[in-house]
Structure 1
Amino acid sequence: MTCIRIFCLLSVFFYCLQVQASPGFRLITLSGQKSEELDVAVWYPASSEGMTEDIGNNPAFVGVTVTPNALPLPGSHPLLVISHGYNGNWRNLSWIAAAMAEEGYIVASPDHPGTTTFDQNPIEAKKLWRRPRDISRVIDFVSDSPALFGVTDKSRISALGHSLGGWTVMSLAGARFAPSVFIKDCQNHSKRGDCRLIEKLGINDTYSMDKLSANNRDARIRAVVSLDLGLTPGFTPQSLNAINIPVLILAAQGDQLAELPAGQESGYLAANMKPNWRHYEVIDGATHFSFMQLCKPGAENLLNEESPGDEVVCQDGPQAKRADIHQNLVAKISAFLNSSLDYSAPAGGTRLVTHQKL
């Protein structure tokens, strides 16, 4: 629905059927007899007013405002699934999740067992091949839960991932990972950030190799966004060349902090994909961690005191401001997804009615 501006002469207020406001939000734990528990955060277009809450807010990081457990808007909505980076969590990309929910998207992001902030079990971390399956499982669940999140438009499903999450969503797009190829590449780049994770992620584990090299493509996904991904040199050029859905590849200009050179990671994707299916751009002023949530003043010192070295997650390029980088990224990601999915966001936002003074 579009925003209908009706000025009422009987009062000093005007009423609008749609205004930009806080999206609905639910935190769900998926469980099953044959699968591990999976915590999933879901933002969605909401149709009722209610008490708002800041989620993901803590002494170091800025959260986003949502309306917990609100009723979903009627009608069907595109779905965006998000995959976080190594030892990250769904809060890291809450800024883009909330922004896309305000444009009418249902947005769902799981915490990947073993490689999430709150579950760094080394045994589970070596089951890297389960990450793409987590995302497909989330698509199943959200699509089957219209009463909770609204109706999913199954012709408009997309995926976005940062760092190891970028590897995850590219796997879902059809990229095939060859552990032996990655390990060989790392012999020449032993100091690269992702090469230091070979053991931790089980890439050299005989049991995992067949599973890691499997075809994880999910044909329901119609567009993909990769944010400064890692493990890229393990993708076979043949599989990248065969991808036939739109892919937006965004890399950080400053790669020193995470030691994931854009040319060897995001640039490798761009070089091996058909030009008509990908758009590649290096984001000025961004570091690998600029794609994470906003840091509060003093966050670097706080993080350094708690875990020396972690302060890098709040560092951006010289003279760059993360809020400006995010604003730039939201515009690029939104335009790409809306175009790729042939979707027009509702004018004025996604929530029903409030009033404002003239």
Structure 2
Amino acid sequence: MKPIYLLVILLTFVLNSAFAANVGFEQFSLEDDTSRPLNVSIWYPTVQPSPKTVVGENPAFVGTEVIKAATLDVRKAPVVLLSHGYRGSWRNLNWLATKLAKRGYVVAAPDHPGTTTFDRSPKQAAQWWQRPRDISRVLSFLLNDTKRKHALDAENISAIGHSLGGWTAMQLAGVEFDRHTMKQQCQLVFNQRTCGSAKELGLTDIQPKEPLASSLKDTRIKRVVSLDLGLARGFSVQSMTRTQTPALILAAGIDIGDLPQAMESGYLAEHLPLETRHYKVYEQATHFSFMQRCKAGAVDLLEKEYKGDGIICKDGFGISREKLHARIFKDILWFLE
């Protein structure tokens, strides 16, 4: 082998290793719609070695190591957009974003106004159609941003959402909310945590400025992943059966008082086209197993702050959340790649 070819191979190996080892991180406010500014977090691969810091950590939850405002050195990186659950935030899937960035992905996550930990405005929460639009807005910004667009592969874009974020991701795939179906299903099987939250989320009655068209599909998004989504029975069956966007449906097998996954993720899997969807249940996972890892003593700490919140840090017997995350990430990576 000629020395020059050997050098190229060695340099490629070094660069790829650097991308896999370091994660850049930035946050900013997207102000293109002044009535709904979005706080956005971005993770990305970088060759910059330091200074490293920890983000997304607090007394209860484990954070991840990143380099803030690092250089963005990739070309044609696949893009992943994340949507957090009801009353969650970017921190909930920080673990997943960091792992994806180490694999060469550029990952972006907005905090959805009205349904985030730091903004529980009832008026914003009731605008159910805004969540998918938030993701589309972030994507449009990234693809047109002179600082970042050179690094992105506009033909390789995915959306991943947990809980209500999974509901959001499926709408981006073309699945449509249907209020009549939602009411019928809640009359058949009522659950306080799902049907009971419908009014707060604007799903029971027509809302001011609600769009006439029910489709919020973003054709730029080529595949979607739902992580133990909720409110699936509010989707129209017709829209599910005709959706062609590939979907990975991951569900938690342990019931924590919501509807059993068979009536949420399973319901979705039942109606999506078999040839474009994949469906898996983690028998030892709870709804919150998809969120960030918890520190020792987190259950007691959360219970002291708000009785009942300790469940956020409980997983199935005999398995750690770290091991569950390893399995979940492996399945997501298989689907994306």
TM-score, normalised via structure 2 length: 0.93
Deviations 1:85-136 (A, max 9, x none): 0000010001111111111111000000000000011111111110000000
State whether residues 59 and 299 of structure 1, in contact with CA within 8 Å, keep that contact through their aligned partners in structure 2: yes
Runs of 4+ off more than 4 Å: 2-6
In the TM superposition, residue 264 of structure 1 has moved relative to its aligned partner by 0.7
Q: Match of 1:165, as an amino acid?
A: G
Structure 1 pair 318/150, CA: closer, same or farther in 2 (3 Å)?
farther
The equivalent of 1:139 in structure 2 is: 139
Aligned partner of residue 109 in structure 2, secondary structure: strand
Instruction: Report the more deviating stretch, 315-324 or 219-228.
Output: 315-324
Partner of 1:22: 22
- Could you say if the C-alpha distance between residues 216 and 34 of structure 1 is closer, same or farther in structure 2, counting changes exceeding 3 Å? same
Report what 1:268 is aligned to: 267
Cα separation, 2, equivalents of 1:231 and 1:208: 21
- 8 Å contact kept, 1:29–1:38: yes
What is the deviation of 1:212?
8.2
Q: Out of 188-197 and 301-310, give the one that drifted further.
A: 188-197
Q: Secondary structure at the match of 2:283?
A: strand
Q: Which structure 1 segments of 5+ residues have no match?
A: 7-14, 339-358
Matched, 1:99 2:99: yes
Provide the rounded CA distance (Å) in 2 between the counterparts of 1:256 and 1:102: 32
Q: Which amino acid aligns with 2:140?
A: D
2:316 corresponds to 1:323: no
CA deviation after TM superposition for structure 1 residue 16, in Å: 3.0
CA 1:32–1:153: 2 relative to 1, 3 Å = same
Equivalent residues of 1:85, 1:163 under 8 A apart: yes
Identity of aligned residues (%): 44
User: Secondary structure of 1:211's match?
Assistant: coil
RMSD over aligned Cα atoms: 1.9
Greater Cα shift, 140-149 or 302-311: 140-149
Aligned equivalents of 2:34, 2:111: Cα separation in 1: 18
Unmatched segments (≥5 aa) in structure 2: 1-6
Could you tell me how far 1:148 is from its partner in structure 2? Answer: 4.5
Q: Counterparts of 1:301 and 1:60 in 2: how far apart (Å)?
A: 9
Q: Structure 1: how far apart are the matches of 2:206 and 2:333?
A: 40
Q: Take 1:215 and 1:308, find their aligned partners in 2: how far apart are those partners?
A: 39
Match in the other structure for 1:356: none
Displacement of 1:34 after TM fit? 4.8
Conserved 8 A contact 1:179-1:212 = no
The separation in 2 between residues aligned to 1:16 and 1:134, in whole angstroms, is 37
Cα separation, 1, equivalents of 2:100 and 2:259: 27
| Separation in 2, partners of 1:79, 1:315 | 31
Structure 2 residue 181 is the aligned partner of structure 1 residue 173: no
Counterparts of 1:73-222 in structure 2 under 5 Å? 73-148=73-148, 151-207=151-207, 210-211=210-211, 214-222=214-222
Distance 2:33 2:280 in 1: 43
Residue 17 of structure 1 aligns to a residue whose secondary structure is helix
In 1, are the aligned partners of 2:172 and 2:216 still within 8 Å (CA)? yes
Aligned-partner Cα distance in 1 for 2:136–2:71: 25
> What CA distance in whole angstroms lies between the structure 1 residues aligned with 2:156 and 2:276?
17
Aligned letter for 2:226?
S
Q: Decide whether the 8 Å contact of 1:166 with 1:228 is kept in 2.
A: yes
The one-letter amino acid of 1:153's match is D
Q: Tell me, yes or no, if the aligned pair for 2:127 and 2:210 is still in contact at 8 Å.
A: no
- The match for 2:3 is none
Tell me the alpha carbon deviations over residues 173-224 of structure 1, each in whole angstroms, 9 at most, x when there is no partner.
Answer: 0001101211221122222521110111111122269538611000000010
| CA deviation map 1:284-343 (0-9, x unaligned) | 2000000000000000111111111111100111212100000000100011101xxxxx
Which structure carries more helix by proportion? 2
Structure 1 or 2: more strand by fraction: 1
Q: Map of 1:20-99 to 2, 5 A cutoff?
A: 20-99=20-99
Asked whether the equivalents of residues 129 and 208 of structure 1 are also in contact (C-alpha less than 8 Å), the reply is no
Counterpart in 2 of 1:288?
287
Change (3 A) 1:227 1:268: same
SS at match of 1:18: helix
CA gap of 1:254–1:213, structure 2 versus 1, over 3 A, is farther
Contact 2:22 2:48 in 1 (8 A): no
